[in-house]
Amino acid sequence: MRKLIVRLIILLVLVGAGYAAFLVYKQIPQREDSLATTKVKQSDVVVRSFARGELRAVRSATLTAPNLFGTVQVTKLATLGALAREKDLVVEFDDAEVISRLEEKQLELDQIDEQVKKAQADLSIRDNQDQVELLRARYGVRRAELEVKRNELISAIDAKKNQLTLEESKRRLLQLESDIKSRREQAQAELAVLREKTNKAKLELNREKQRLAQVKLLAPMSGLVAVKQNRSTVMMFGMSLPDIREGDQVQPGMPVADILDLSEMEVVAKVGELDRANLTEGQEVSMRLDALPEKKFTGKIKSMSGTASANMFSSDPAKKFDVIFSIDMRQLLSALGANESQVSRILAQADTNRKKGPMTAFNAPPMAAQPEGGMAQGMGQAAPAATEQAGGRQRGGGGNNMDPELQRKRRELVTKFSKGKAIADMSPEERTEVMAKVTAELQKTGAMPAGRGNRGGAAPGMPTMFNVGGFMVSQKDLDSANLPAPPEEDNQLDVLLRPGLLADVEIIVDKVQNAINVPIQAVFEKNGKQVVYVKVGNRFESREIKPLKRSENVMIVSSGVKVGDVIAMANPEAKPGDKKKTEKSGGAASALPGGKGGM
């Protein structure tokens, strides 16, 4: 009986094991049949690259606090977001100390002028006295000569006395002439010293006038006012920097406000090194602004950085390349609701600002004005400069943007009127006379418009020009400059865009026709190689593929599979509980050449 029970148990175990093996065998094809599959396709594939960036102005000007010998206080400041027209007042600083120094320099100059007048009057009086004494000495010599002629009629002793008297009179006359010459040279030297003091005082006075002009910062172009943060404020941990406000004290050279030219915009973004290899300058792109998601705009790649950089404060530590995209301003302005006349006016303003050259930072040191009657200075768009020699060599603190033809004519006239004499060797009066003749001749021939020329020899009523923040303005511009209207009071027709808007950029890298492609999700990595799992019967087998290119959702392959093959969308070799295997982010195919020569 016991043997029968043992045999039954063994039989049941064998039947159970066989049934379990049957279930396992039956489950394998069922699991493989449950995997999602797709077919290898052959179609046209557009290879795209994507980037996210922000809108910014192509041109901007930074206005900085002037050097007024210490901290300066902001007394007037344009409202953040206001639209400033060209030569509108943006920032004004306290000018009390500058005016005080200007009055002191003016008083010092007046005192020196009085000393010059006194020295000239003393010299004139002394010259008259010397002339009287010289005339007396000459009369004495003449009287002695007449007495000598009587020597034949008088005794020998008297004749000798007359001869000695004549010699003494002549020696006295020579000594007097020598003394008069010495006194005159000494007086001229004293006058020359006083004239140099006058020139120095005028130079310092003009510098103070230049500093007084620096207390007003005008907009060099039309644009949006962006007030900077006050970095001189004492900060504590967790606090944010406040914006500069009226009444704040700022250090010299500190940025106070930016003027952003809204007539021409661009998008700046960062791309990875794999995408950078597929991009070229001039490539067309399409972009969408987050503020206008329903609108699509066209543009091009303007420039790309040659080196990558990483932002330590960003969540992405990878190094990326900066890429700048242009945007079709006509499309952008039309999408924002601007009419045709507004678009034309804004584009014309962009052309005007573009011709002015690069505008990045207007923080050049103030140019000292030359003293009256001093060196010639250009007064157009150029910074003050002085012609030092007739040959045309320039000296001074700034460049000269004068027309080359006008420069050539001016050098020729300087050579003509100075007769080859160097300007530096001339007296102030001679320089003034020469430059006045040059200016008059240029204006007579029409080569130089009225109102331009040298400041020292300028005609009465000519506006005085100042270098304020890197560009030239007249005293009239400074006096008539007013703050722009606040944003809530302006019609805002020109402020249709705001820098900082986020944008998505889509770059079409390539268009491949009749390309064999598979979904990105169907590509896996096995033993360091990229493979797909092709269905053969009831099983899947791995096949190594040779990737060529990839887009955002498909990969183009050149070998390994053929059109119509059924491939798995998930890894059939993955065991339950294993981590899901995914292909590398970006894939090795992204680093492949972007040209069609690799096909």
pLDDT of residue 581 exceeding 60, the answer is no
Domain ranges of the chain: 1-34, 53-92+222-355, 96-214, 386-463
Model confidence over 352-370: pLDDT tens digits? 877 775 554 443 333 333 3
d(CA 469, CA 214): 7
Amino acid 426: pLDDT: 73
Q: Between residues 405 and 122, which one has the greater pLDDT?
A: 122
pLDDT number for residue 451: 43
Q: Tell which wins on pLDDT, 391 or 448.
A: 448
pLDDT(399) > 60? no
Rounded CA Rg of the chain: 45
State the pLDDT at residue 325: 92
Q: Closest Cα partner for 100 from 236, 215, 240? A: 215
**What is the average pLDDT across 25-54?**
74
**pLDDT confidence of residue 107:** 92
Percent of the chain scoring above 70 in pLDDT: 76
Query: How much is the average pLDDT of 518-531?
Result: 88
What rounded mean pLDDT belongs to the chain? 76
More confident residue, 60 or 550: 60
Closest CA to 569 of 535, 538, 527: 535
C-alpha closest to that of 497 among 117, 270, 100, 224: 224
What distance in Å separates the CA atoms of residue 593 and residue 524, rounded to the nearest whole number?
21
Q: Which helix (H) or strand (E) holds 30?
A: helix 2-34
* Distance (Å, whole) CA 105 – CA 212: 13
Tokens 């944010």 found at: 240
Phi, psi for 59 (deg, rounded to 5): -120, 140
Angle at 110 between CA 104 and CA 112, to 5 degrees: 105
Q: Are 423 and 388 in contact (CB under 8 A)?
A: yes
Residue 587 has pLDDT above 60, yes or no: no
* DSSP strands (E only) in 129-229: 216-218, 223-227
Check whether 155 has a pLDDT greater than 80.
yes
According to DSSP, the residues that pair with 47 across neighbouring strands are 510
Angle (CA) 144 145 149, round 5°: 115
The pLDDT, as a whole number, for residue 470 is: 63
Q: What is the mean pLDDT of residues 165-191?
A: 89
Band (232; pLDDT cuts 50, 70, 90) = confident
pLDDT for position 25 = 59
Give the highest mean pLDDT range of 306-320, 416-430, 524-538: 524-538
135 falls in which pLDDT band (50, 70, 90)? very high
pLDDT at 578 over 60: no
Reported confidence tier of residue 462, pLDDT bands at 50, 70, 90: very low
Instruction: Work out the average pLDDT over 137-150.
Output: 88
Structure tokens at 298: 């066209």
Of 45-54, 409-418, 482-491, the least confident: 482-491
What pLDDT is stored for residue 315 in this prediction?
66
